[in-house]
Amino acid sequence: MAQVEATTERIIAADAETVFDALADYKEVRGKVLTGHFSEYEVREGGDGEGTLVHWKLQATSKRVRDCLLEVTEPTDGQLVEKDRNSSMVTTWVVTPAGEGTSKAVVTTVWDGAGGIGGFFERTFAPKGLGRIYDELLQNLATEVEK
């Protein structure tokens, strides 16, 4: 079983603190910036960064839907980690300054992939598909914070 990884990044025309605060705001902002691939969004505990427990379903393909229950931590400044209680999936968001009034947001998701031929296709295609989903999410985030 090999680990599968998908990474996407975007430069956003807002300072790092503003971008991070928006990402960590599961009550107001996060639900607004999710793409159509996400459904059944619900904050179950907390709602602002560390200590949040959030649920959603992620439909990566027409046949593949993940039921996600995510525990949120903030291990370091500018870093938000979402660990799925229902799988090996871990998503890490890192927001850093990228010059005057701009920031760089990087999202990386890793999980234990399947074995065999199914695993080959998962390792080949899943990172690209998830990358497109997160690229759209980061675009939505940029639109939200650049207002």
What's residue 120's pLDDT? 72
Residue 40, classified by CB atoms within 10 Å of its CB into exposed (0-12), middle (13-18) or buried (19+), is exposed
**Residue ranges in the chain whose pLDDT is less than 70:** 1
- Which distant-in-sequence residues (6+ apart) come within 8 Å of 23 by Cβ? 29, 30, 80, 93, 95, 105, 141
What's residue 129's pLDDT? 85
Q: pTM of this prediction?
A: 0.91
